[in-house]
Structure 1
Amino acid sequence: MSTSRKRIPEHELVVLGGGGVGKSAITIQYVQSRFEMGWDPTIEDTYRKPAVVDRQEVMLAIIDTAGQEEYRLMRPGYLRSAQGFLLVYDITSRVSFNDVSRFHDEICQAKDLATYPAIILLGNKADLADRRQVKTSEGEELARRMKCGFMECSAKFRENIDEAFHAVVRAVRKYNHKNILDRTADLLAGEDGPERTHYGEEEPKGCCTIS
């Protein structure tokens, strides 16, 4: 008698940010447990890694992206399909921090939402705190405005690397669960029921944005 194998859910995650912020170093540290020295500009690499988050198995497809402006036209496709995002800046670079809002806008535009909750804002290179240009409080405030999670990490010393990816997985699960509840509520309410946003808030018919 054969037994069916349990299907493991898969989440597509994108590591996004400006050039040189450490996106590849973060990804390789998480997937391969090693620190990649130097910086070789990435066009796009995809890694697969099984993980256990809160005692639940998951398969992660992680896309390490190009941060340079010349690759911007490549991004909308995988931004639409991805479920979660690590939005990375370098705490020693004010420019990379300023770039974060542009990348966040690209995510929201691809998702056709005013904001998207399955994002972790990640300040990399915490081991270089003596060269810091971006305060922790600034990262916290930006994450508050974006309505997403925040932490600082060090790819070099694997500080908060697992925690960041697992936090994204939790955010994806929460977002997906909320959408299921909203769709169920809409079905129970019928066609005459109030329309809902992705966050379960009622909106008048015809409204197309989330405030």
Structure 2
Amino acid sequence: MAAQTQTPVPISITICGDGGCGKSSITLRLVRSAWTSDYDPTIEDNYSVTRVIDGVTYHLCLTDTAGQEEYRGMWASSNLGADAFLMVYDITSRDSLDALQHFDELIDMEAEVRLDNAERARAAGISPAYTGSGAGSRTVPPVKIVAGNKCDLQESRTVPAATGLEWARKHGSGFMETSARLEVNIEETFALIVKRVVERRRLAEEGVMDNTEMSARGMTKPLTPLPAGTEEDEKRGPGVRGPILSGDKVGRGQGGFWKKLRCW
């Protein structure tokens, strides 16, 4: 009941990556539970969706950004002001993983600015947990999650899961493999983002700005595998909504198709 009456907690998420890697497909799968094979290059689209996670209602503001190199210069400062970044690549394209370097450098520069803002806030006797709308008021370093999308295309895979995980760890990010087409790890990925943003905010209130589980300057711990599924999960199969979003574990189960998938 509390989750229905409380004011939703806002969390902003910028989704970035190379063109054609499935950013819009992931976004639309979350927002509309829809998928299309048509590719329409995005310049920038904004969406919002509400989710209840661990009994708390969150209002997710999603920005689906341009991936084509010719549009990357159009990135607005507001895109870098997000609480979290979902960096998407295509497991069938090594180039799409390499393209994340560009976005990661921008995000890390933004993280440094926020840490500097936090230091100035502390020096002025202001709580560094404050996050206003102005660029100079942002102080909590952003969360980064890497998503290896199109994991249903195993026969065309060119980026092993271990390679994606290694890249994510090296760049201080969490890691998931997803499929927008089969709705694999979509809800779970955004639930993970929410949990990590909440944890960052909590640590900021305690004055810990750069010592989180997945620090912008450190390496991430691997995520736990999806929890074991039930016989009923086997019957439901992939693409059915209804992930577990409570406690420390998130997922739909490992029965049938899920046994082929891992997340960290």
The TM-score by the shorter chain falls in which range? 0.7 to 0.9
Match of 1:15 in 2: 15
Give the TM-score, by structure 1 length.
0.82
Match of 1:106 in 2: 106
3-state SS of the aligned residue for 2:27? helix
1:119-158 maps to which residues of 2 (within 5 A)?
Answer: 119-158=144-183
2:185 aligns with one of 160, 170, 175: 160
For 1:48, the aligned partner's letter is S
Root mean square deviation of aligned Cα: 2.2
For 2:177, the aligned partner's letter is E
**Structure 1 residues 79 and 110 mapped into 2: Cα distance closer, same or farther (>3 Å)?**
farther
Match of 1:65 in 2: 65
For 1:199, the aligned partner's letter is D
| 1:113 Cα deviation after fit | 5.7
Q: Distance in 2 between matches of 1:56 and 1:104?
A: 30
Q: Distance in 2 between matches of 1:107 and 1:76?
A: 13
C-alpha contact (below 8 Å) 2:92/2:159 kept by paired residues: yes
For 1:33, the aligned partner's letter is S
Identify the structure with the greater strand proportion: 1
Asked if 1:175 is matched to 2:186, the reply is no
Q: Which runs of 5+ in 1 are unaligned?
A: 183-195, 202-208
Match of 2:210 in 1: 199
| 1:174 Cα deviation after fit | 1.0
| 1:110 Cα deviation after fit | 2.6
Match of 1:82 in 2: 82
Match of 2:233 in 1: none
| 1:38 Cα deviation after fit | 1.6
3-state SS of the aligned residue for 2:159? coil
| 1:151 Cα deviation after fit | 0.8
Q: Distance in 1 between matches of 2:17 and 2:40?
A: 15
**Structure 1 residues 171 and 163 mapped into 2: Cα distance closer, same or farther (>3 Å)?**
same
Q: Distance in 2 between matches of 1:44 and 1:80?
A: 13
Q: Distance in 2 between matches of 1:114 and 1:129?
A: 39
Q: Distance in 1 between matches of 2:78 and 2:42?
A: 15
**Structure 1 residues 180 and 10 mapped into 2: Cα distance closer, same or farther (>3 Å)?**
same
1:65-104, Cα deviation, whole Å (9 max, x unpaired): 1011222222241233200111000000010011112211
C-alpha contact (below 8 Å) 1:28/1:36 kept by paired residues: no
For 1:143, the aligned partner's letter is A
| 1:176 Cα deviation after fit | 1.1
1:132-173, Cα deviation, whole Å (9 max, x unpaired): 010100111111112221010100000000011111111111
C-alpha contact (below 8 Å) 1:49/1:60 kept by paired residues: yes
Identity level (%): 37
Match of 2:35 in 1: 35
Q: Which runs of 5+ in 2 are unaligned?
A: 116-140, 219-264
C-alpha contact (below 8 Å) 1:179/1:200 kept by paired residues: no
For 1:138, the aligned partner's letter is T
